[in-house]
Amino acid sequence: MKDFASRQIEFTVIKVNNEIELMIKVMKENYDGAGRALTVSDISKAVSTKSFEEVTKTFAANASFIISSAVKKNLGGATSSIPAPKSDPLWDTSKFAVGQYLSQNAYYTVTAIEGNTISIQNSFGDEMQVSKDILEKMDSASHFEKKISLTMT
């Protein structure tokens, strides 16, 4: 792990149960000790309390986040072409057009904090774990200097 860290090879571990706690501890000690931070996405609670479908959704959200972050980084910050999870379209997608504007907002609630890993749930009900450095780049509705009334647009 020290060699991987020294070569700037990033690792993210998705923890599905507590049986790998010792392995994660050893990995973190060696990886973190080399000046990098091993990210651990802990979905063990979901595995023990949720249905197979819910756990699969949580795992996919974590894996998609990891993959999209890696692809985006490898593309120099460019948008990746990783497909979004399948759901019914909100409008007639046959009307896609070049130059069309699209938008989506998601709001996140912090549900747990474990070291550098923050568990969050988005406004669509998806749960995921992200590292603190990612959330530091997001706006916060709970931290502000002053309150200003604005229109909804």
pLDDT value for 38: 80
The H or E element containing residue 120 is strand 117-122
Using DSSP's 3-state secondary structure scheme, residue 116 falls into coil
pLDDT value for 81: 41
pLDDT value for 86: 57
Neighbours of 43 (CB within 10 A): 21
pLDDT value for 46: 82
* C-beta contacts of 82-89 below 8 A and 24+ residues apart: 85/57, 85/60, 85/61
pTM over 0.75: no
pLDDT value for 138: 77
Helix segments in the chain, DSSP class H: 2-6, 21-32, 44-49, 52-74, 132-135
Using DSSP's 3-state secondary structure scheme, residue 22 falls into helix
| Low pLDDT (below 70) residues in the chain | 64-87
